Structure 1
Amino acid sequence: MSAHWISICTLIGMFVLATVLPINMGVIAFVGAFLVGTLVAGLNAKAILGGFPADLFLTLVGITYLFALAQNNGTIDWLVKLAVRAVRGRIAAIPWIMFFIAALLTSVGAVSPAAVAIIAPIALGFAAKYGINPLMMGLMVVHGAQGGGFSPISIYGGITNKIVAKAGLPLSEMTTMLASLGVNLTVSLLLFFMFGGMKLLRQKADASGEVPAVRRTAHGQGGAQVYGDAEAEALTEEHRTAIRDDDSLMNAAPVASADTGSRTYQLATVAGLIGLAVLTLFFKQDIGFVSISIGLLLTLMAPNLQKRALGQVSWPEIMLIVGVSTFVGVMDKMGTIDFVGHSVAGLTSPLMAALLLCFVGAVVSAFASSTAVLGSLIPLAVPFLEGDAGVSAIGFIAAMAVSSTIVDVSPFSTNGALVLANAKGIDRDVFFRQLLVYGAIVTLVAPVVVWLLFVVL
């Protein structure tokens, strides 16, 4: 077996092992980079560490640290309550409020599972109280989180854009962001009308927050949460602090908490998030340094309040991403990336190669880590995207981004498992099968649709 095939089989084995066992794929990837790099490629430790993505590491640490600060001081909860109260009893608006809040959270730097962990308990509590289909509500939260996931200052967006830039491919951050938001928004619109949206449009809560025409459903038991991919390890303190009382936030009075900052501090946090967007989008400053700088300013304002923030940084998620990136760096030094890309392009046309990679990304991501998929598959496409291959690199990146993340509605992914665990007043076995069927449909259909939209057309 050639060195190229040994590294490819190792990469496949890493995905399988991380899917079957609750082991962080980043740990496996670092070991794989060391063993393959030294025993197969003849590289020394310095050469192997040359593939360590220091800039990406700083970005992930900075963004997740700043998001932890915003969660701890009550800014996130405050913004959620303001948005929910804005619906003024319009029941049909609640799923869309949840969609856009989830999208906003991921667009400003929250990892997708953390955003779903915060919003899903609230959203599904609303679904039980107001007779909203829990499947529709849960799926709209997940699609919202995925829809906002490719903004230039988001986790997915930062990873993808850095990988594309490193590969020397044409880059359009706005195209990838709008593609993800557009596809997920369209899917959510279809789900809204398929699962009772027209009925909701005719309902409105009274002054007490009740809907007389809706029979109140009993709240079901909580149920254990089962996570099926490595990204679940990123849900540390964010998930434990995310579970809230599922009564209506439109009627609930604010409850003071020892962990909640003052309104002035929350306004400063919002200003910091806006400043992050302005400095990175318009002044092209490094998002990692900017986010850590803003986080330090907020910490100096209330150091005791933010003691937990550094511990809430998504270290397992960061370990996963930088580990896989380091292994891909070893594959790149070995020439395996070029070997695979040219082999795929040689087996079939570039258009079919693009479709094949989209399918691979969707299937693997439904069971494993979306971030790991993005980090490993995009570099494989570089050879047939370079030159006059008839495939737009910008379109392919958009298609790969969407097909590798929209499948996180699967109950085997963290997001799908969170929806399943937080649904109330339902038969969990039936709900699991519904999520499973929907996830399978999305996995089979989405790659073809996005390939047609962004690559062929």
Structure 2
Amino acid sequence: MTPQLVSLAVLVAMFVVATLYPINLGLMAFAAAFVVGALLLGMSVDDIVAGFPGDMFITLGGITFLFGIAQANGTVDLIISSAIRLVRGRLWAVVWLMFALAATLMALGSIMAVAMVAPIALGIAARHRIDPLLMGFMVVHGALGAGFSPLSVYGAFVNGMIAKTDLPHSPLLLFLIPFALNLAFALVLFLTLGRPLLRSSTGSVPLEKDTSDGATGGGRTPRALLFQRAATLLGLVALFVGAAGFGVDVGFAAICIGVVLVLMAPRSYADILDRVSWSTITLVCGMMTYMAVLDSAGTIDMAGEAVAGLGVPLVAALLLCYVGGVVSAFGSSIGTLGITLPLAMPLLLTGEVGAIGLVAALAACATIVDVSPFSTNGAMVLANAQVEDRDRFYRRMVAYSGLVVGLAPLLVWGAAVVPGTL
């Protein structure tokens, strides 16, 4: 076998292992980068390390560091409980509120938006007889819809990758296209399962208690904690405005804001680094390091030229969308993006397919399929659903996931890729 085929086989093997066993794909990717790079390609360690994405490490670390502070001081709980008060008694509005909450948290940088909102949402669903499939997937679609905010892990990843090329790029469309796709599925889901809620209401949607450190048994919160929360909210707004409006580097800005917040109450955040999503950072940085090795081996060019050589650019683009969707349904969304975007480069460089539309379509396809119970977000819904027949609920999840995997790539390809090609 040629080095290109061996390196590609290793990549496939890593995805299979990470799907079957709880092993971080990024760790395997680091190991593969050394084994393939040093032993197969004769690369030096310095050449392999040169592929490590230091800028992405700063971005992801900074975002999860800042949002970890927001979780620790109860700012996230405050946002959720305040929002719930706005829709008291209207069950249909509660469902959409969970969509909006998950979207807001994800847009502000929380990769754990589903993990934070799903337990609350599915608890409310159980108490008020709301279909848990509806409630759970509204949360997931909300989070995934906002997944390509400039502050999110996904958004920072794709924006950073495309910024290194000469391709045209629009962070706004990268955000709007996946959001529109997820909103469309959420709307259909609501119209299918949630119409009875339009005629139902409850006089009291119970609020979650503030469980953050520092809250008193009587429900009163110390002034120092209130000040920390106000400062955190101000910091999150400043980060969003600075990144979206003035091009401020997200990672370093998040770290700076986080350090200021920590200095305000050092003892409150002694273990704050435990809240940084090191597993996600390892996944992203490991995959990008291995992709750099594949690039050196010529594997990316070989596979990309094979796709571009299909002869019909639109068919090649559709194939990439389906490959991204199917692979991501069983594996890592960011890992999948780390593969499909480089594979699309030769096709994009031909100019025969609109770069902005295809990048956004690939991003949408790799994330919307996270409704699958085999993905982290889908698994959170399955774990928190309060149902009597869990096997039946699992089968319903699988059926809906199959529908999404089958339809979403075709829909986003037709809406975002085809218009830019004709």
Distance in 2 between residues matched to 1:439 and 1:48, nearest whole Å: 38
Normalising by structure 1, we get a TM-score of 0.88
Q: 1:255, CA displacement in angstroms?
A: 6.2
Distance in 2 between residues matched to 1:398 and 1:381, nearest whole Å: 12
Which stretch of the first structure deviates more once superposed, 142-151 or 334-343?
334-343
* Matched residue type, 2:197: L
Asked if 1:267 is matched to 2:223, the reply is no
Distance in 1 between residues matched to 2:248 and 2:397, nearest whole Å: 41
Q: 1:257, CA displacement in angstroms?
A: 4.0
**2:241 matched to which residue of 1?**
278
Q: 1:4, CA displacement in angstroms?
A: 1.2
Q: Do the aligned partners of 2:74 and 2:210 also contact (CA within 8 Å) in 1?
A: no
> Among 369, 373, 394, which residue is 1:432 paired with?
394
Q: 1:346, CA displacement in angstroms?
A: 1.3
* Matched residue type, 1:24: N
| 1:45–1:428 CA distance, 2 compared to 1 (3 A) | same
> Among 136, 140, 143, which residue is 1:142 paired with?
140
**2:296 matched to which residue of 1?**
333
Q: 1:332, CA displacement in angstroms?
A: 1.3
Distance in 1 between residues matched to 2:237 and 2:269, nearest whole Å: 20
Q: What is the DSSP-based 3-state SS (H/G/I as helix, E as strand, rest coil) of the residue aligned with 1:378?
A: helix
* Matched residue type, 1:363: V
| 1:256–1:437 CA distance, 2 compared to 1 (3 A) | closer
CA deviation profile, 1:56-102 (whole Å, cap 9, x unmatched):
00000000000000000000001100000001311110011110110
Q: Do the aligned partners of 1:163 and 1:379 also contact (CA within 8 Å) in 2?
A: no
CA deviation profile, 1:23-81 (whole Å, cap 9, x unmatched):
11111101111111112222101111111100000000000000000000000001100
- Which aligned pairs between 1:56-95 and structure 2 lie closer than 5 A? 56-95=56-95
- Which aligned pairs between 1:201-280 and structure 2 lie closer than 5 A? 201-206=198-203, 209=204, 248-249=206-207, 257-258=213-214, 262-280=225-243
**2:266 matched to which residue of 1?**
303
Q: CA RMSD in A?
A: 1.5
Q: 1:143, CA displacement in angstroms?
A: 0.4
> Among 155, 168, 173, which residue is 1:175 paired with?
173
Q: 1:2, CA displacement in angstroms?
A: 1.3
Q: What is the DSSP-based 3-state SS (H/G/I as helix, E as strand, rest coil) of the residue aligned with 2:309?
A: helix
Distance in 2 between residues matched to 1:183 and 1:30, nearest whole Å: 34
Q: What is the DSSP-based 3-state SS (H/G/I as helix, E as strand, rest coil) of the residue aligned with 1:169?
A: coil
* Matched residue type, 1:392: G
**1:238 matched to which residue of 2?**
none
Q: What is the DSSP-based 3-state SS (H/G/I as helix, E as strand, rest coil) of the residue aligned with 2:246?
A: coil
Q: 1:253, CA displacement in angstroms?
A: 6.3
Q: 1:307, CA displacement in angstroms?
A: 1.9
Name structure 1 gaps, 5 residues minimum. Answer: 211-247
Distance in 1 between residues matched to 2:227 and 2:140, nearest whole Å: 31
Distance in 1 between residues matched to 2:169 and 2:211, nearest whole Å: 46
Distance in 2 between residues matched to 1:253 and 1:58, nearest whole Å: 34
Name structure 2 gaps, 5 residues minimum. Answer: 216-220
**1:343 matched to which residue of 2?**
306
Q: 1:303, CA displacement in angstroms?
A: 1.2
Q: Do the aligned partners of 2:77 and 2:210 also contact (CA within 8 Å) in 1?
A: no
**1:23 matched to which residue of 2?**
23
Distance in 2 between residues matched to 1:426 and 1:163, nearest whole Å: 45
Distance in 2 between residues matched to 1:286 and 1:184, nearest whole Å: 27
Q: What is the DSSP-based 3-state SS (H/G/I as helix, E as strand, rest coil) of the residue aligned with 1:168?
A: coil
* Matched residue type, 1:269: T
Distance in 2 between residues matched to 1:14 and 1:416, nearest whole Å: 21
Q: 1:254, CA displacement in angstroms?
A: 5.1
| 1:356–1:256 CA distance, 2 compared to 1 (3 A) | closer
Q: What is the DSSP-based 3-state SS (H/G/I as helix, E as strand, rest coil) of the residue aligned with 1:92?
A: helix
**2:11 matched to which residue of 1?**
11
Q: 1:204, CA displacement in angstroms?
A: 2.2
Distance in 2 between residues matched to 1:162 and 1:256, nearest whole Å: 34
* Matched residue type, 1:44: S
> Among 250, 254, 261, which residue is 1:291 paired with?
254
CA deviation profile, 1:129-172 (whole Å, cap 9, x unmatched):
11211110000000001001001111100001111122332111
Asked if 1:199 is matched to 2:196, the reply is yes
Distance in 1 between residues matched to 2:210 and 2:19, nearest whole Å: 41
Normalising by structure 2, we get a TM-score of 0.95
* Matched residue type, 2:290: F
How many percent of aligned residue pairs carry the same amino acid? 49
> Among 363, 373, 386, which residue is 1:411 paired with?
373
**1:49 matched to which residue of 2?**
49
Asked if 1:451 is matched to 2:407, the reply is no
Distance in 2 between residues matched to 1:126 and 1:394, nearest whole Å: 39
Q: Do the aligned partners of 2:73 and 2:212 also contact (CA within 8 Å) in 1?
A: no
Which stretch of the first structure deviates more once superposed, 71-80 or 425-434?
425-434
* Matched residue type, 1:61: G
